[in-house]
Structures are given as C-alpha cells and as structure tokens.
Amino acid sequence: MLSFSYGYLFPADSGYKEVYGSKVMVPEFKLGFRVISDVYIYGMFSTLSKNGTTPELNEPAHSKQQFMGGGLAYFPSVARSLKIFIGAGVASATYEEEAMDIKVSGNKLGFLAEAGLYLRFKAVLFGLCGSYCAASDTYEGVDFKIGGTRASAVLGFIF
C-alpha cells in the first residue's frame, strides 16, 4: 500500500494555536506492507511549516514540525469496494520554532493512532482519514505538545 494524503492538522497545544492559528495544512505519505491477511506494517512521514505572530508583541514567528513513524494496521474489506484502516504506532516528532531571535528545536518520541474509510477501485484507493499524532516536550519549565488531530483526504494504491 502506498498513499498520499492532504488535510488539516488541528494543533494539540493551546500556545501554538495562539501564534499560528487553529489549523494547518499538512501532507502525509504512507507506505505499508501486508504481513498476514489484513494486517499491515506501515511507515509514515508528514511535515508542516507555518508562519505566525506572537500574541502580545506582534513579532513574527516560524514553526516547522516533522513526523516520521510507523506501526501496525488492520486494513480489511468491509464490502466489495469499501475498506477500513485502523492503525496505531509510534512517531518521532522533530520540531523547530523561531520567534523574537530565540530558536528552540528538538526531537521527541510520541504516539500515533488513526482510522480511515476508503473506496477501492481495483488497485486505487480514495478516502478520508482521521488521526492523532502527538509528543510532548518542555522548554524552560513550560510543557508543550507537538502535533495534534488530523483530518485528510487520501489517494492510495494497493500493490
């Protein structure tokens, strides 16, 4: 299975939402291999980059987040041309944020959970997917979350 999706990420961190807004457009690539029957092992990569403004000083800010991970998925047919996808795994979250001449970056391990509904036409898939991918970190005593909830449209291929 190979898929490309594009949709909205709704950030989990309230401070992030203040600076960058409540949603960000995010692409994702996924590659999966059948292990047995309808069970797949898969890997994923998604990335986002967003400009914003600090709330009180109106200074420019820039954020970049990337997620690389994978896990196990159950991907059965529930009707002749309808498939569901239920997956869970881990993701490495890399982030970088720059505001007011301060640059903060890091990498944390987080978790990934997702589900989707797909129409299958021979080897081509079209569908909708929802997921939650998040990790947490701390900077100068302040806890923050990386990632969040995602809703996207998917185009994929089964081989």
Residue with tokens 């400009």: 51
Give the per-residue pLDDT at 25. Answer: 97
Tens digit of each residue's pLDDT (9 = 90 or more) over 127-137:
999 999 999 99
Q: Which amino acid is at 133?
A: C
Tens digit of each residue's pLDDT (9 = 90 or more) over 84-110:
999 999 999 999 999 999 999 999 999
Q: For the chain, what is the domain count? A: 1
Does pLDDT of 159 surpass 90? no
DSSP 17: H
Q: Which of 56, 91, 48, 53 is closest to 70 using CA atoms?
A: 91
Tens digit of each residue's pLDDT (9 = 90 or more) over 36-78:
999 999 999 999 999 999 998 999 999 999 999 999 999 999 9
Residues near 88 by Cβ (< 8 Å), separated by ≥ 6? 71, 72, 73, 111, 112, 113, 114
CATH number at 148 reads 2.40.160.20
In terms of residue numbers, what domain contains 144? 2-157
Give the per-residue pLDDT at 57. Answer: 92
